[in-house]
């Protein structure tokens, strides 16, 4: 019986070491969105300008959609913008790229887009950030990938860089566009 007591330290240690081993393959800094694998929220945003349609939940049915929250006052948005221009030019058939202008005056957003180029197929205007709150946006830029059934599949916080675009987002878009077997 006393022997078991002496064994206790090593047994406890082995359990802790097991956790460490598991911990090595987890990323503690990654904060998952509770909305992943959930249907996108229900909303109906007015268009930013009359030439392009606005954006509502039903617009995501049947297509892979990449939803990007942006603002003219947001410096990191400017950093990721060229990647969206590229995406729109090369992959418009695979993915519907939608912008939501966040906490911004319509004229500011429009002049920003006219200067940097407008990659979006649709642009919803969310000046009050009501819809952004439903999506769980902390701040711009944030980007969400939604599958043809309207389920959120991926969330990216902060500007997207080329690595993320090529190694995470584009492969996911390809996967999601495959018809469900």
Partner 1 sequence: MIPEIGHYALVLALFVAIVQATVPLIGAHRNDAAWMEVARPAALVQFLCVAVAFAALTHAFVVSDFSVLNVAQNSHTDKPMLYKVSGVWGNHEGSLLFWITTLGLFGLMVALFGRNLPPSLRARVLAVQAMITVGFLLFVLFTSNPFERLDPAPANGSGLNPLLQDPGLAFHPPFLYFGYVGFSIAFSFAIAALLEGKVDAAWARWVRPWTLAAWVCLTLGIALGSWWAYYELGWGGWWYWDPVENASFMPWLLGTALLHSAIVVEKRDALKSWTILLAILTFSLSLLGTFLVRSGVLTSVHAFATDPQRGVFILALLVVVTGGSLLLYALRAPVLKAGGIFSPVSREGSLLLNNVLLAAGTGTVLLGTLYPLFADALNLGKISVGPPFFNATFVPLMLPMVVAMGIGPLLAWKRGDLPGTMRRLRIAIAASGVTLLGMWLLAPEQSPWWAPPTMALAAFLALATLIEYAERIKLFRASMGETLRRARNLPRAAYGMTISHFGLALAMAGMIGSTAWVTESIQVQQVGETVTVAGYDYRLDQVKEVRGPNFTAERAVFTVTRDGQHMATLRPERRVYNQPPRPTTEAAIRTLWYADLYAVVGEPDGRGGHVTRIYHNPLVPWLWAGCALLVVGGSISLSDRRHRVGAPTKARAKPVASGKTAEA
- Interface residues with partner 1 (CB under 8 A) are 2-3, 6-7, 9-10, 13-14, 16-17, 19-29, 31-32
| 67: CB partners within 8 A, 6+ apart | 40, 98, 99, 100, 135, 143, 144, 145, 146
Gap between the Cα atoms of 36 and 128, Å rounded:
24
Smallest separation (angstroms) from partner 1 to the CB of 164: 19
88-92 long-range CB contacts below 8 Å, 24 or more apart? Answer: 88/119, 88/120, 88/121, 89/119, 91/170, 91/173, 92/121
φ, ψ for residue 14, nearest 5 deg = -65, -35
Smallest separation (angstroms) from partner 1 to the CB of 78: 20
- Note whether 148 and 62 are within 8 A (CB): yes
Q: For partner 1, which is the closer residue by CB, 15 or 180? A: 15
Q: For partner 1, which is the closer residue by CB, 6 or 179? A: 6
Question: What 8-state DSSP symbol labels residue 165?
Answer: I
Smallest separation (angstroms) from partner 1 to the CB of 20: 5
Q: For partner 1, which is the closer residue by CB, 31 or 89? A: 31
Smallest separation (angstroms) from partner 1 to the CB of 44: 32
Beta strands 96-102; 65-70: pairing state: parallel
Gap between the Cα atoms of 121 and 134, Å rounded:
22
Q: For partner 1, which is the closer residue by CB, 26 or 180? A: 26
Q: For partner 1, which is the closer residue by CB, 116 or 157? A: 157
Smallest separation (angstroms) from partner 1 to the CB of 86: 29
């Amino acid at each position: 019986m006393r022997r078991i007591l002496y064994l206790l330290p090593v047994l406890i240690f082995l359990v802790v070491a097991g956790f460490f081993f598991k911990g090595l393959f987890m990323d503690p800094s990654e904060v998952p969105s509770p909305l992943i694998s959930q249907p996108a929220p229900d909303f109906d945003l007015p268009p930013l300008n009359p030439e392009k349609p606005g954006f509502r939940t039903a617009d995501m049915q049947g297509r892979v959609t990449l939803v990007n929250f942006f603002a003219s006052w947001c410096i990191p948005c400017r950093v990721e913008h060229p990647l969206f221009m590229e995406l729109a030019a090369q992959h418009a058939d695979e993915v519907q790229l939608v912008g939501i202008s966040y906490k911004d005056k319509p004229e500011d957003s429009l002049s920003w887009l006219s200067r940097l180029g407008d990659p979006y197929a649709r642009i919803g205007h969310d000046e009050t950030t009501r819809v952004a709150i439903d999506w769980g946006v902390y701040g711009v830029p944030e980007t969400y990938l939604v599958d043809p059934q309207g389920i959120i599949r991926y969330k990216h916080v902060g500007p997207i860089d080329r690595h993320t675009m090529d190694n995470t987002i584009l492969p996911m878009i390809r996967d999601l566009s495959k018809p469900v077997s």
